[in-house]
Structure formats: structure tokens, C-alpha cells
Structure 1
Amino acid sequence: MSLGARQYHLAVGPGDVSECVLLPGDPGRVLKIAEFLEGARKVAENREFLTYRGTYRGVDVTATSTGIGCPSAAIAIEELANVGARVFIRVGTSGAIDPEVSVGDLVIPVGAIRNEGTSYYYVPEGFPAVPDFGLVRALVEAAEERGYRYHVGVISTDDAFYAETPDYLEDLRKLGVKSLDMESSTLFVVAHLRGLRAATVLGVVANLTTGDGVFAVEDPRRAEAVRRAIEVALEALARVKEGGGAGGI
């Protein structure tokens, strides 16, 4: 797909998106992000990809859903970059496996195990999946400013939601892995290769080790975790845009 053209999957074109983009998986979370933006407007919608744009504290922000998993996330990142996006923060949910991580907490990854297939089309086995340090620092500062409980560490990005056996989860727990998601490792790899900046903040909606919150879809802590992740991501973008110790944009 050529640079500057209307993109095949996202249906966005030149001038449609901002430099700074939040990437939730769920299209419904785009609408939640839009509630925090001034002048929020729908830009495009196609398949699982819903895009809104507005401003937060004077920063031009786009929110685009990626759907579930690394293949569609890679498509979203590539096509957004084709039309001018440069800074990405994934705003997702996560199942914790560290027993010290509670439902409602935030996880800010400093690396992701590539337990998925998409990133292997980009880089070989052994290549690390790591976020942008300045964005990670901005996320941490934003979480601390709000007094939100957060954890910094390694996550595992997986492909098969229902194939994670107890033995598999225990092996990851013994390695000190904080939690699981399904998109971050590919986000980090693609961003690195394309000269982009990327990071992730995850709201914890269940702990797969303790059993707390597992499939408790009506648990109000889930909505609170998502809200906190959105707030921290937006504030991090504002800090980075202002050059607040995180490298600027």
C-alpha cells in the first residue's frame, strides 16, 4: 500500500489521522476514548477498524481500533504510518499471571515475549520486542501522578486465547511475566522497523493465577481499569508532546 494513499483496510487517507495515535483493540473502546477528547469526530470505519480524532489538552489525538490479535494490529500500524502517524500507545486489557497484580491495576510493559506468529514475518527468532523508553517513562509518570497502582515488567503476547493451559501459564509466572495480551509484541517490532515510537498500557481485568475476575464481565473494576488506562495514555501523549522529560515529539 503506497504512502499517502487512502488505505485499503482502515479507509483513512492523507490528513485523516494525527501524529499521535491510541490503539485499543475493541472498537467500543474508541468511543470511550472519544469521550475524553475535545471536538471528537468519526474519521473512518471499516471491518474492525474504527477511527476517531480530537484533541486532548491541545494535543491532536487519533484513536483507531485494531481488532483482536497481532495480524490486524500490524495492518493498523502499517496503514496509519502510511498516512502520517508516528507515535502509538496501545490501550488494552490484560489477564495477569503475577499474583501480586490485581484487577484494576495497570501494567506498563518494558518488553514482550513473542509468543505469536506475526512478528516472525518481520524479524527472526531472538529479536527483542521492546517499547520506546521515553513513552514508557511518560506512562509511568502519568500513572504516578494520578496515584494509580501500576506494574512495570515483561508481558507475553499470545495468539490463542483459549489454548493457554495451566502449565503454560505457570511456566510464564516462574519467569516473572506480569500479564498477557495479544498485540503488543508485534506493535513494538513493527514500530522499531518503521522508525516509529510505540508503547503499551494495559488495564488488568482478571488474574489467571488467583482466579480473581476471570470472565466476570460485569465486574465494575474492569471498566475502571480501562478508564485508568485511557487516562494514563492520553496524559502520556500530552507529556511527550510537551517534551516533559520523555523525548518530545
Structure 2
Amino acid sequence: MYIQSKEVLDSEGRQYHIKCKKGDVGRYVLLPGDPFRTDIIARHLDTPQLVAHNREHKVWTGTLLGEKVTVASTGMGCPSTAIAVEELIHCGAECIIRVGTCGKVCDASFDESLSGVVITGAVRDEGTTIHYVPIEYPAIANRHVVDALSRAAKARGFNFAEGIAQCKDSFYGQHDPDSMPNSARLHERWEAWRKAGVMASEMETAALFVIASIRGVRAGAVMAYFAMNDETIEMACDAVRILIEQDRAAQ
């Protein structure tokens, strides 16, 4: 039995931050950070409808293969991602795929033929998830979601690696470490991630993976290098179709 978080509702009985109720959200959810990207991703669904938009959280719901699928934005960073994921799970989400962007870390990630990474796990280099579980607990993607994303990429001829992400709290700690009083530590840790073969640097996957694991839902992520592209969206939608068909076959 997985531990579920307490629902915090507004005066109309909606989730306090995402402003959704049960029935508004599908079992399958695509999770960008930017609310404006939800509009782009929602066009890939059948009959998408705008459900809610509050703060950084914009929510659309449509269908794929006749199943309800939701697109919801998290905003930037693990704190707001954790809120969105908890509240989406309260509304019925069972399989969540982050669709985002990332930077490059290790030498292999600078292969110019790569469009991005299917994330298999995350370095918990952030502060949100220690409020959930000790740091020794791994932040890992669901293997079936990873497989569906990788199969989707292969079927379309897209070149995405599989690999680990460093999930951080500070964008400028990565891009301007020398301006930080803590610069020596930042450089040392970045070199450790590089030597360890970390393929991506981003700000949300650790929260998604840890919360999904302890709440008993499936999660994965596909990240484009530097800028969102249609490949990641197409892969994520195809992966949802694969998972829908697998879930139907298992019933």
C-alpha cells in the first residue's frame, strides 16, 4: 500500500494549485515546465480542452487512442513540480512523462548527432526531495516508461540517448558558477557528474521520479538538448500510445 498525500482543496473543491478536480485529469499525463508549451503539446491530442490555468500550472485534457490524456505545466524547479505531481495524482494521474529541455554534461552528451536524452534516473542535487525521503533513496524512472520512450524514438528514427540527469536547484549555479561564493564546490561537483557520465542537467526530474515511486505511479522523462523540439513531443505521445496499448492488453 503506497502512502498518499493529503488533499488540499480550495473553496470549490478543486486542488489548491492546479485548480482541477477528479475527472479533469487523465490516467496519462505529459508534463512540460513552461505553461506556454502546454498549448503546443495539446495540439497533438485529439479534442484537447483547456481545463485550468492558475499561476505556473496550465492544464489541458484530450485523448489518444480514446483514452483521456492530460498536459500540465509544472513551472521551473522541483518545488513547483512536486506540487503539480501530487495534485495530478490526487486527480487520477497514473503515468506521468516529463517533456522538457536540458543542458549537456559529460563528454558523450556533446555528440552533435544526439537530439536529447530519455532519462533513466536523476542525481538528487536539489532540496525538495529530502523532505520526502533520505538522500540515499534513488530517483529512478519506471522501466516500462523508459522502454516506451526509447521504442518511440527508434520507430521514428530519432537519436536520443538513455542516461542520467543531474537535477539541480540553481540555473545560475550551473551557468555562472564563478559568480557564486560557493564556486569551488560547484566546479568540483560538476566535474564529478561529468566523469560519472551524467548526460543531462535540468531541474525537475528528481521530484517527479521520487514522488512517483513513493506514491505508486509510473514516471519517465524525455529531454531535448537546449530547446524544445517536435521530436520530444512526438516521442512522448507515441510512448503514451504504447503504454495505453500495453495497459489494455494487461487487463
TM-score band, normalised by the shorter chain? 0.7 to 0.9
TM-superposed deviation, 1:34: 1.1
- Alpha-carbon offset, residue 148 of structure 1: 0.5
- Per the alignment, residue 229 of structure 1 pairs with 232
- The partner residue of 1:152 within 162, 167, 173 is 162
Contact 2:48 2:62 in 1 (8 A): yes
Deviations 1:78-109 (A, max 9, x none): 00111111110000100011333356612011
CA contact (8 A) 1:106 1:148 kept: no
Q: Tell me the matched-pair count.
A: 230
- Matched with 1:193 is 214
The whole-number CA distance in structure 2 between the counterparts of 1:3 and 1:162 is: 33
1:248 and 1:3, CA in 2 relative to 1: closer, same or farther beyond 3 A? farther
SS in 2 for 1:11: coil
Q: Secondary structure at the match of 1:100?
A: helix
Give CA deviations for 1:40-68 in whole Å, capped at 9, x if unaligned. Answer: 11000000000001122333210000000
Return closer, same or farther for 1:8/1:137 CA change in 2, 3 Å cut-off.
same
- Which residue in 2 is equivalent to 1:211? none
Unaligned runs of 5+ in 2: 1-5, 178-186
Please name the residue that 1:126 is paired with. 136
Normalization by structure 2: what TM-score?
0.86
Q: Is the 8 A contact 1:106 1:202 kept in 2?
A: yes
* Residue of structure 2 aligned with 1:20, choices 28, 38, 50: 28
State the alpha-carbon separation in 2 of the partners of residues 89 and 173 from structure 1: 25
1:203 alignment partner AA: A
Separation of aligned partners in 1, 2:209 and 2:249: 18
- Provide the alpha-carbon RMSD of the alignment: 2.0
Q: Structure 1 248/192 Cα, relative in aligned 2: closer, same or farther at 3 Å?
A: farther
SS of the equivalent of 2:107 reads coil
Aligned residue for 1:140?
A: 150
Distance in 2, matches of 1:80 and 1:3, equals 12
**TM-score scaled by structure 1?**
0.87
- Structure 1: state its 5+ residue gaps: 206-221
Q: What does residue 98 of structure 2 align with?
A: 90
User: 3-state DSSP class of the match of 2:158?
Assistant: coil
* Alignment of structure 1 residues 161-176 onto 2, 5 Å: 161-164=171-174, 165=177, 166-176=187-197
| CA deviations over 1:180-211 (Å, ceiling 9, x no partner) | 11000111000011111101110111xxxxxx
Question: Partner residue of 1:29?
Answer: 37
Moved more, 194-203 or 1-10: 1-10
Q: Which residue of 2 aligns with 1:2?
A: 7
Larger CA deviation: 103-112 vs 8-17: 103-112
SS in 1 for 2:214: helix
Q: Does the residue aligned with 1:177 lie in a helix, a strand or coil? A: coil
Q: Distance in 2 between matches of 1:98 and 1:139?
A: 22
CA contact (8 A) 1:241 1:248 kept: no
Letter in 1 for 2:206: S
Cα 1:59–1:99 change in 2 (3 A) is: farther
In the TM superposition, residue 171 of structure 1 has moved relative to its aligned partner by: 2.4
- Give the % identical residues: 40
Whether 2:50 is the aligned partner of 1:42: answer yes
Give the aligned residue type for 1:76. Answer: A
Q: What one-letter code is carried by the residue in structure 2 that aligns with 1:114?
A: R
Q: AA paired with 1:99?
A: D
Partners of 2:129 and 2:192 in 1: CA distance: 22
Give 3-state SS (helix, strand or coil) of 2:122's partner: strand
Letter in 2 for 1:35: R
What is the Cα deviation at residue 111 of structure 1? 1.0
Q: Which amino acid aligns with 2:141?
A: P
